Amino acid sequence: MRKFIYLIGTTDDFESLEDLKNAYFNDDTDRNMSVFPVEISESCRIVGYDTIEEIATMIGRAEAFSSGWCMDDTLSTLLGA
């Protein structure tokens, strides 16, 4: 199994992806961000996606968008866990 963390935060609260990552690693929960864990089997294959990371990103986005986030005015990234 591969484990990932999908992070998303507002551009009002974060200047860059590095800022978003630093907030996560420093447990800075006072700013507007969300964390979505994603775990995928190494054997997972989906037509149209070449890597496990691409699949994990799409799952993370789906979780975020289902929770009220959108692409507008946000920064997001996938981290290996």
Sign of the torsion angle spanned by Cα atoms 47, 52, 57, 59: positive
DSSP bridge partners of 37: 5
The helix/strand count (H/E) of the chain reads as: 2, 3
Q: Is residue 79's pLDDT more than 90?
A: yes
Length of the chain: 81
Total structural domains within the chain:
1
Asked whether 61 and 43 are in contact (CB, 8 A), the reply is no
CA–centroid distance for 41 within its chain? 18
pLDDT one-digit tens code per residue, 4-60 = 999 999 999 999 999 999 999 999 878 899 999 999 999 999 999 999 999 999 999
Structural domain containing residue 27: 2-80
